[in-house]
Structure formats: C-alpha cells, structure tokens
Amino acid sequence: MATETYTFLKNIIGRNIYNELKRDAKQYIPVATVVLIVVLVLTYFFHWKILSWILNLITGTSLIFIAYIIGIVLLLDFGVNVKMTRSWDGSYKMPNSKPFKYHLTKFWEIILVVLAIAAIYFSNKYRRHYAFECETFLVDENSGIYHLEEGNDDEECNYTTKMKGYEIEELGYSFCESCKDWVEEAEEVYESERYSRR
Ligand SMILES: [Zn+2]
C-alpha cells in the first residue's frame, strides 16, 4: 500500500500545485528572508527615504510580502502520512475516512494563517511608522508644533528649524492641526481616486 505525506491544504489545492509551490518556496524564501532581515536591520540604524521606499515595496500589504508570507506558510506546513487507496484506474487517491492526525494539520494551518495576518498587519504598521521617521518637518521649537514640509499651503507657518520624524519623536512635539487636516484630505482624495479608477 502506498503512503503519501498529506496536509489539509495540500488536499484542497491539489498535490501537483502544492508540491510545485513548496519547491519554489524552498528556493526563494531563504534569499528573501536574508534581504528582509538586512533591510529591517538598516531601518533600525538609519532613516533614509530610499529605505522607506524599499520597505513599502517589500512589507505590509504589498503583493511581494503577501507572496513571501504564503511561501513561509507553505514551508511551515507539516504533512502526515496517509495510506492512499487505489482507485479503479490504478491511480492512488485520498481515502474517504482520513486519519485523525490529518485533521490536526487543519488546526496548525489555521494558526499559521492567523500568524500570517498578524505579520502583514504589524509590518504594515512598522513601514508607516518608519515613513514618518524619514519625513522632514518644519518645526516651531517655541510652541512645540511641527508642520509638513511638502504640500504645506499654510502661509503663516512659522518654524525655527527643520527636523526628521525620528528626531521629533523624542521631543514629544505635536503635529499642527491644519497640516493634519491637509494630510487627511489628501489621503481621502488619494483613496477616492484609487477607487474611482477601478
Ligand atoms: Zn501646519
């Protein structure tokens, strides 16, 4: 009797696609992991716009990161041995009553998916925060308020110096209200444009 390593996921998407994807994951995930670690370590020490741009490209809700996370899930997906049954044409197929261990793979996969969603959520937060840290602001040291540098149409905006987000963070200054409104409006316009293009 033939046995094959199976998981719930493998049974759903089919053994050929599953094996192919897993082979690709084994090839690309180690390299991608090294790149990701290098970028994350660099963001810890430096505040460069180019790094923020790369981070936006490879983490959070970007397709590259989602593909990466799917690859990780596939690599961590553990199979159990299932005794195949022979069908009328001589090919092997999954038995109708599956072993108990096989059902456990489903629970492990649910845990992996939850962790995957958490990874996307937190890396998204991180890349947004890092983008703020790299941004240059106009800072009024007397009032402890900082303004946008780009897109700021406030004529009476007074400032004493320019600082990057990570420098302001340590000072506990607050963001200018009218600049905040401007950002929110700009984001709304961006969102509505994005949706209207569909
Ligand atoms: Zn302002």
| Orientation angle between helical segments 100-134 and 63-76, nearest 10 degrees | 150
CA of 156 to the centre of ligand 1 (A): 9
Give phi and psi for 152, each to the nearest 5. -85, 115
Cβ neighbours around 50 below 10 Å, total = 10
Query: Tell me: the pLDDT tens digits for 23-41?
Result: 999 999 999 999 999 999 9
CA of 133 to the centre of ligand 1 (A): 17
Query: Tell me: the pLDDT tens digits for 59-98?
Result: 999 999 999 999 999 999 999 999 998 888 888 888 888 8
Identify the DSSP state of 105.
H
Say how far apart CA 140 and CA 35 lie, in whole Å.
38
CA of 167 to the centre of ligand 1 (A): 18
CA of 179 to the centre of ligand 1 (A): 4
For ligand 1, a single-atom ion, the residues with CB < 5 A are 147, 154, 176, 179
CA of 129 to the centre of ligand 1 (A): 20
What was the pLDDT predicted at 151? 67
CA of 46 to the centre of ligand 1 (A): 26
Which of these, 122, 117, 131, lies nearest to 55 by C-alpha position?
131
CA of 143 to the centre of ligand 1 (A): 12
* Residue owning tokens 């810890």: 44
Say how far apart CA 52 and CA 187 lie, in whole Å.
18
Say how far apart CA 41 and CA 26 lie, in whole Å.
23
The model carries a pTM of 0.84
